[in-house]
Amino acid sequence: MANTAPTTRPRVPNFSSGPCAKRPGWALKNLSDAPLGRSHRAKIGKDKLKAAIDLTREVLQVPADYRIGIVPASDTGAVEMALWSLLGARGVDMVSWESFGAGWVTDVVKQLKLADVRTFEAPYGELPNLRKVDTKNRDVVFTWNGTTSGVRVVDADWIADDREGLTICDATSAAFAQRLDWQKLDVVTFSWQKVLGGEAAHGMIVLSPRAVERLLTYKPAWPLPKIFRMTSGGKLIEGIFSGETINTPSMLAVEDYLDALNWAKKVGGLDGLVKRADANARVIAKFVRENDWIDFLAVKPKTRSNTSVCLKFTDPAVTALPADAQAAFAKQVVSIIEKAGAGYDLGHYRDAPPGLRIWCGATVQSRDVKALLPWIEYAFAEAKAGLGKKAA
């Protein structure tokens, strides 16, 4: 029997893990209040940036004594700012289970060249043994949600309440879709273009009082470029945390972020955002249960991401292929779906195992996830039939 293509497509077929789908109802006209052509240092510009900080605090439920800053170069810039400004005061434990976490390990070991570094790593689909991490005495760097593996930490219970070091958390694909335990986190970074579907450019850095104290009392042994500096003359550069950015932001991107934050409030704030992402992930979980040729990359169900959902093909006809052929198979599945206009940017990350990565963050509609899944089934069958023809 011939494989029949579905007749229904997602209304919004955008499933990229960054930049992510725009919020439902988004339109360029919604950004008409952006002060284009004006200086970001003028009152109107600073007011917009300060509003972005204040709304971030409100939606994410950030404690009042934590500082929130807008910094250059997206989440990557925010993480690098934290690593270069704060590490070196004591030993550091690096926790990694996917490509971005591995990148932070490389930066600390090969670029900063810190002497006292321990690494705790796990393959794609798994978490390291977090109980072995010394959160009491050492600094710790980890990602809350592994964007390229679809594996997240379950909670922050493994982090000591009476810690002496700092916890630095890359939360870019977790913030606004997963609940962060702020009392266990000293530095949190994320970007606008993930869960809220904003535009790229600037990132966010959130500092606990303990992190601020480290900034004020510790001077790294290496020179800091201007773009990484959060202190001057032994004092915190307050402007970073009140809307005076280090370099020029796009006021159009700022307006877009404000639009997303206001939408987030309308859908119930953090609770509403988490609920939406969880609902999307449940749609895929049901699909996986009903089909034995596909599974989550995350080994343990409780560690599965509700944003960057990573899947692998488990059909013997695919798993028997060499690694490069499996990657080619996954790309063919993605290509079939994209050519049909049924889903875009679904491919696995370049360093991850072959498969699919479906963004299920809060700006994605469950009905679109449901409409995508029959196309995955169709494309898989088409690609598998192609394997049979090659074998013949």
273: containing domain:
269-391
Query: 113 and 171 share a domain?
Result: yes
Across the range 169-186, mean pLDDT stands at: 98
Question: What confidence tens digit (pLDDT) does each residue in 67-110 have?
Answer: 999 999 999 999 999 999 999 999 999 999 999 999 999 999 99
Across the range 21-49, mean pLDDT stands at: 97
Query: 364 and 333 share a domain?
Result: yes
Query: 140 and 238 share a domain?
Result: yes
Q: Domain for residue 129, yes or no?
A: yes
CA pair distance 336, 342, nearest whole angstrom: 9
Question: What confidence tens digit (pLDDT) does each residue in 324-362 have?
Answer: 999 999 999 999 999 999 999 999 999 999 999 999 999
Query: 50 and 161 share a domain?
Result: yes
Query: 141 and 253 share a domain?
Result: yes
The H or E element containing residue 236 is strand 235-236
Q: Domain for residue 6, yes or no?
A: no
Find how far residue 246's CA is from the centre of its chain.
Answer: 23
Tally of structural domains, the chain: 2
How much of the chain is helix, strand and coil, in % rounded to 5?
A: 40, 15, 45
pLDDT of 391 reads 63
Q: What is the three-state SS of 123-141?
A: CCCCCCCHHHCCCCCCEEE
Domain final position from 265, 286, 314: 265
Q: Domain for residue 375, yes or no?
A: yes
CA atoms within 13 A on the CB side of 42: 8
Give the dihedral sign, CA 325/289/155/56.
positive
Least confident of 173-182, 239-248, 283-292, 331-340: 239-248
Query: 212 and 279 share a domain?
Result: no
Q: What is the mean pLDDT of the chain?
A: 96
pLDDT of 2 reads 59
Q: What CA–CA distances, in Å, run from 335 to 239, 321, 347?
A: 46, 19, 9
Q: How confident is the model at residue 200 (pLDDT cuts 50, 70, 90)?
A: confident
Across the range 236-249, mean pLDDT stands at: 94
Query: 305 and 255 share a domain?
Result: no
Q: Domain for residue 83, yes or no?
A: yes
CA pair distance 216, 32, nearest whole angstrom: 40
Q: Domain for residue 10, yes or no?
A: no
**CATH number for 188:** 3.40.640.10
pLDDT at 196 over 90: yes
**Main-chain dihedrals φ then ψ at residue 357, nearest 5 degrees:** -135, 115
Query: 261 and 277 share a domain?
Result: no
pLDDT at 392 over 60: no
**CATH number for 307:** 3.90.1150.10
Query: 53 and 135 share a domain?
Result: yes
Query: 315 and 328 share a domain?
Result: yes
Q: Domain for residue 360, yes or no?
A: yes
Amino acid of residue 367: R
Percent of the chain with pLDDT over 70: 99
Residue 294: count other Cβ atoms within 10 Å of its Cβ: 21
Single pTM value for the model:
0.97
Domain final position from 230, 265, 300: 265
Q: How confident is the model at residue 1 (pLDDT cuts 50, 70, 90)?
A: very low
pLDDT at 372 over 50: yes
Query: 274 and 257 share a domain?
Result: no
pLDDT of 389 reads 73
Q: Domain for residue 8, yes or no?
A: no
Query: 249 and 292 share a domain?
Result: no
Q: What is the DSSP string of 355-391?
A: SEEEE--TTS-HHHHHHHHHHHHHHHHHHHHHHHHHH
Q: With contact defined as beta carbons under 8 Å apart, do 373 and 346 qualify?
A: no
Q: With contact defined as beta carbons under 8 Å apart, do 372 and 336 qualify?
A: no
Domain final position from 216, 241, 265: 265
Question: What confidence tens digit (pLDDT) does each residue in 252-298 have?
Answer: 999 999 999 999 999 999 999 999 999 999 999 999 999 999 999 99
| Burial state string for 171-209 with b = 16 or more CB within 10 A and e = fewer than 16 | bbbbbbbbebebebbbbbbbbbbbbbbbbbbbbbbbbbe
Q: Domain for residue 20, yes or no?
A: no
pLDDT at 209 over 50: yes
pLDDT of 76 reads 96
